Amino acid sequence: MKTLQSIQARTGAALGAPLLATTSQQVDAAATAAAHAFEGWAASTGEIRGNLLRGLASALEADRDGLVSLADEETGLGPVRLNGELDRTAFQLRRFADIAEKGLAFDRLDDPAVAGPPPGGHPAMVRQRVPLGPVAMFSASNFPFAFSVLGGDTASALAAGCPVVIKAHSGHLLLSNRVFGLVRAVLSAQKLPAGLIGFIQGGGTDVGVRLVQHPAMAAGAFTGSTRGGAALQAVANARPRPIPFYGELGSINPVVAMPALLAEKGPELATLMAGSISLGCGQFCTSPGVIVLIKDAASDAFVSYLTTALAAQSPHAMLTPGMRQAFEAGVAHMLAAGAKPLLHEAGKPEAPRPFLAEVDAPNFIAKAELREELFGPSSLIVRAASVREAIEVLSAVGGSLTVTLWGVDAPTADNQALVRAAMAIAGRVLFTGVPTGVAVTAAQQHGGPWPSSTQPMTTSVGDAAMERFLRPVALQDAPAWLLARNGRPC
């Protein structure tokens, strides 16, 4: 049987005993168990769903010290960050518990009958929603709690009435197994079927791809690279019965900074930006990978301030040795494409130094390789000759989770054009602050046009994440007993 090995992030040394990879037969068994659990869970009450989600949140908190210690060894993210992320994960679980208990998954639209011939007359119609079915959930590397075993995808799918089969990420295998141990205990204590939340691990087509291909799977949810997400989306589309695949992928998150604001607050904004670029060693899906500046003396000064502030940062170890190698390869790729280095220093084997480069707008627009995500503590300054050229830069990006616009407070024609351009390519547009940090709230939109996500009309963070796993159904002249269920499937 294949084995898997966890790695200590800070040293690259093996951590713990090898783990057995899931076999093809075990993948099939997990998918089949989820299908068996689906009928009962789809018809469950909001109270039952809420109890499970609250129980999972409490289990995480009860094992906080052990979980955070193990996560720190496997990811190197540090106990402060990891404790905060565990808090966020428990918050997400309880927030979706609230949503389930309020019955939002069972919301319906009543359209009473209207007498007379069509088109004015029509029968009684009720539009409600049903859960899609078992979800193949792929954990992310950079958020070992909030986007992993009990992250937002799992919480929102369960709240919608869908079982999940979770594919663990290789970057935190021991943590994933420990969290799944908590899951099994909660399911048992609440007398829920073990197949409601399944778990698999390992690489290759016999695990993740096989799960997406399994006929019991009704949807996929993924957070990771554009290449990996695109490959799984192709698998989902190639099935005899294609299924929706919700991938949150790579993003370069442009920041457009107007000269007037830079002239007023250049040093302050440079410090803020440097912290955002290096936060979490740049391993955030919303890390500011591109900074668009209008050619001006204030912009020149800002670049100087930013270079100095970024040089003072000390990024920690990257999540895995593979990511560390990919970062160096990405830097070399960007330099080969014509980017001029402003800050480029040798780092440690496990921890890189921040990287900053610049290029003019025409070259950025012309060369697709300059628009690829560089996962790590880096950013590329793009010099634009005018607001119109800055808008062309945004258009060339094509799709991004975020765009940040600094200094567009007045309703000028240029500012309105920038806002239009930002809204055309991003799921979230910021007007202050930096894009790192994604609030879990009702109005959040974490997803944007390709290549930032596969389904730009959906979000993987916030209350609306549940909508991905519900499908509308119209009931025409339904019997009273069915209507009495108030939107809860039978």
Alpha carbon 32 to its chain centroid, in Å, reads 27
User: How many Å apart are CA 69 and CA 76, to the nearest integer?
Assistant: 10
**Segment 396-449, tens digit of pLDDT:** 999 999 999 999 999 999 999 999 999 999 999 999 999 999 999 999 999 999
**Segment 345-376, tens digit of pLDDT:** 998 888 999 999 999 999 999 999 999 999 99
User: How many Å apart are CA 158 and CA 100, to the nearest integer?
Assistant: 9
Q: Is the peptide bond before 144 cis (omega within 30 degrees of 0)?
A: no
**What is the arithmetic mean of pLDDT over 205-213?**
93
Q: Mapped to the 3 state alphabet, what secondary structure does 14-68 carry?
A: EEEEEEECCCHHHHHHHHHHHHHHHHHHHCCCHHHHHHHHHHHHHHHHHCHHHHH
**Residue with more model confidence, 321 or 61:** 61
**Segment 299-315, tens digit of pLDDT:** 999 999 999 999 999 99
Burial state string for 411-443 with b = 16 or more CB within 10 A and e = fewer than 16? eeebbeebbebbeebbbbbbeeebbbebebeee
Residue spans per domain, the chain: 3-249+453-483, 254-430
Note the pLDDT of residue 1: 81
**Segment 455-481, tens digit of pLDDT:** 999 999 999 999 999 999 999 999 999
Note the pLDDT of residue 419: 98
Note the pLDDT of residue 285: 94
Are the C-beta atoms of 161 and 41 separated by less than 8 Å? yes
Query: Would the pLDDT of 205 be above 80?
Result: no
Q: Give CATH superfamily name and number for 254-430.
A: Aldehyde Dehydrogenase; Chain A, domain 2 (3.40.309.10)
Q: Hey, what CATH class is 3-249+453-483 in?
A: alpha beta
Note the pLDDT of residue 70: 98
Note the pLDDT of residue 359: 98
Alpha carbon 186 to its chain centroid, in Å, reads 26
Tokens for 399?
């799709």
The residues carrying an active-site annotation are 248, 285
**Segment 211-265, tens digit of pLDDT:** 999 999 999 999 999 999 999 999 999 999 999 999 999 899 999 999 999 999 9
Return the SS3 of 339. Answer: coil
**What is the arithmetic mean of pLDDT over 280-290?**
96
Note the pLDDT of residue 206: 83
Tokens for 326?
């990919």
Return the SS3 of 379. Answer: strand
Common-topology check for domains 3-249+453-483 and 254-430: no
Query: Would the pLDDT of 203 be above 90?
Result: no
Note the pLDDT of residue 411: 97
**What is the arithmetic mean of pLDDT over 75-104?**
97
**What is the arithmetic mean of pLDDT over 186-200?**
98
Identify the band that residue 204 occupies on the pLDDT scale cut at 50, 70 and 90.
confident
Identify the band that residue 69 occupies on the pLDDT scale cut at 50, 70 and 90.
very high
